[in-house]
Homo-oligomer: A and B are copies of this chain.
Amino acid sequence: MKNMIDAITKFRDERGWKGNHDLKDLAISISLEANELLENFQWKSDQEALQSPDQNIKEEMADVFIYLLQMADKMNVDLEEEVFKKMKKNAIKYPVTK
């Protein structure tokens, strides 16, 4: 994911936006983009949502991910490591029932 983070921080710094990007506003941005993604499913089943071209769905997913990567970079968080830690915790919380 390093190459994505590099591209995103380069983009941000070229525009002089680094100063604005506090964690609170990045967290707000993740929620806003998550809801723009969700809007594609408002009043719709999956089948209905996928009848229109799914370009907007893909773009909103990218937007959520772009802000999440920025937040991870700013906090020095290794997202992949955190995912595996969380999966281990989930495995204990929700054991496989035979």
Contact = CB atoms under 8 A, between A and B. Distances in A.
Tell me whether chain A's interface is mostly helix, strand or loop, or mixed.
helix
Interface string A1-41: 10010011001001100001011110111111011111111
How many copies of this chain does one complex carry? 4
Interface residues of A, number: 63
B46 A22 contact: yes
- Which has the most chain B C-beta neighbours within 10 Å: A44, A72, A82? A82
Nearest to A85: B62
Interface string A69-82: 10110010101101
Interface string A53-90: 01001110111111011011001010110111111011
B30 A34 contact: yes
